Amino acid sequence: MAEPLGVAVIGCGTVGTGVVKILTEQSGRLEQRSGRSIQLRRVVVRDPAKARGVTLPSGILGTDVAAAVRDPSVHVVIELMGGTTTAKQVVLDALSAGKHVITANKALLADAGAEVFAAARAAERAVCFEAAVAGGVPIIRALAESLTANQVTSIQAILNGTSNFILTAMADGGRSYAEALVEAQKLGYAEADPTLDVDGSDAAHKLAVLAQIAFGVAARPHEIERQGIDHIEAMDIRFAGELGYTIKLLAEAWASPAAGRNSTVALHVAPVMVRKTDMLAQVRGAYNAIQVIGDVVGETLYQGPGAGMMPTASSVVADLIDLAVGRAQKSFAAAKLWSGADRGFSIEPSEKVRSRFYLRLLVRDQPGVLADVCRALADEHISISSVIQHEAREDHPDQLVPLVIMTHYAATGHFRAAVKMIDTHPALGGKAVSYPVDD
Ligand SMILES: NC(=O)c1ccc[n+]([C@@H]2O[C@H](COP(=O)([O-])OP(=O)(O)OC[C@H]3O[C@@H](n4cnc5c(N)ncnc54)[C@H](OP(=O)(O)O)[C@@H]3O)[C@@H](O)[C@H]2O)c1
């Protein structure tokens, strides 16, 4: 039997604890699956006095990251501390010390993928990151290995469980955004500071990782246009429902044309109106789902728990078994991720993406307002598919009334120009609210 594989886990919080549990409680299963013993040799944390909810073998818990990374009995360093500064240094140090690296850190990959992967190639070591996108859902392997006969043509994904939980609570329970957020925090689905989840940043980091694998583009997080769910109003969720849609925070990549030397891919994260009958609309609560269309296979869907201790640990340990078997090293070398290899795609601004749009205005019930709005849309060559205007109450003739317009397909840039014009209308109470409609 091959020599045991020594492992250091750097960070024993939510994910690290799950990984340690599997390594300590399922060692027989891991040995059977990988053909060699996998031994936990070091666990590094900030505060060794903290209760961990897992029994660690004696003498392996410490605070010295450098010692763990340099330890000659460690062959694989699992970075589960989070953040992009110290974590990056830990990963680079581990690679230069000749260790393979496993990480669940999408922010690090989105931010410094090129640097980390160049260091790995220079050190002839592998970096594995199945857990970095969609937690327990094996989407990295699906894209990097199982779908390699395809050129991916689009990805539409629910990649942030917190946002999906909040949107589900708003749609099903009629809650406001603030009420749904409090519920998510109570149930442990949202952090005390939920900013990165609800403003679309987390989903953008994950989309950057998927776009690297599917299209070979190295999109930095700031290059991905993003809109979160933090300004969604209950009335838009309600109107969407009345029109037969539900609003989902989607991370999307659209290739055009699907293949060829001068193809482009548009990347964005936004609340999107999805038909209630669509597969993505059925994904509820804190779940993640990724719909990938490939030019050979057609439409595929991957769904499951996108975060949490054991689902995420499941992916981390799968990477560890792949390293123990030797599969991961081959896949890493073959995939050439973040290598600058030109796969023919460049990033296209979202302005050119064509979509239908939902437009909701609050207007004073005055003659000519609807005509002005329609003219602003027509000036940008946008035709309207339906209009719903509620009547003002007779006892409140000055009351603002919602005007909901669904457009036909239009380029995003043209639609935005029309909305800019509409926003200047004196009869509007507040700015227009709009979402792309996925049809
Ligand atoms: N949570 C999830 O469901 C999930 C899902 C997918 C991916 N991820 C990713 O997985 C990574 C870890 O997330 P998490 O939720 O497990 O984080 P977490 O619960 O905050 O745990 C972080 C761990 O890292 C340790 N740590 C932080 N800075 C350190 C330092 N300078 N030196 C030594 N130890 C340090 C902490 O030590 P102490 O315990 O002593 O404070 C803690 O054990 C992140 O990159 C995250 O994005 C998380």
Per-chain mean pLDDT for the chain: 95
The helix (run of H) or strand (run of E) holding residue 417 is helix 412-422
Which residues are marked as active site? 206
Q: Which fold has domain 5-132?
A: Rossmann fold (3.40.50)
Distance 8 CA to ligand 1 centre (A): 14
Backbone φ/ψ region at 210: left (φ over 0), alpha (ψ -120 to 50), beta: alpha
Q: Is the pLDDT of residue 405 over 70?
A: yes
Domain 353-438: give its CATH superfamily.
ACT domain (3.30.70.260)
* pLDDT at residue 340 in the model: 87
pTM of the model: 0.95
The helix (run of H) or strand (run of E) holding residue 113 is helix 106-123
C-beta of 15 in contact with ligand 1 (< 6 A): yes
Point out the ligand 1 atom lying closest to the alpha carbon of residue 202: 47
Mean pLDDT of 125-133: 98
Distance 58 CA to ligand 1 centre (A): 21
Domain at 139-305+338-350, CATH from 3.20.20.70, 1.10.40.30, 3.40.309.10, 3.30.360.10:
3.30.360.10
Model confidence at 393, pLDDT cuts 50, 70, 90, reads low
Cα–Cα distance list, 192 to 169, 198, 231, 400 (Å)? 18, 12, 18, 35
Mean pLDDT of 427-431: 93
* pLDDT at residue 146 in the model: 97
Share of the chain above pLDDT 90, in %: 89
Q: Is the pLDDT of residue 21 over 70?
A: yes
C-beta of 82 in contact with ligand 1 (< 6 A): yes
Model confidence at 260, pLDDT cuts 50, 70, 90, reads low
Domain ranges of the chain: 5-132, 139-305+338-350, 353-438
Mean pLDDT of 11-17: 96
Model confidence at 350, pLDDT cuts 50, 70, 90, reads confident
Model confidence at 258, pLDDT cuts 50, 70, 90, reads low
- Quote the CA–CA distance of 10 and 345 in Å, as a whole number: 36
C-beta of 11 in contact with ligand 1 (< 6 A): yes
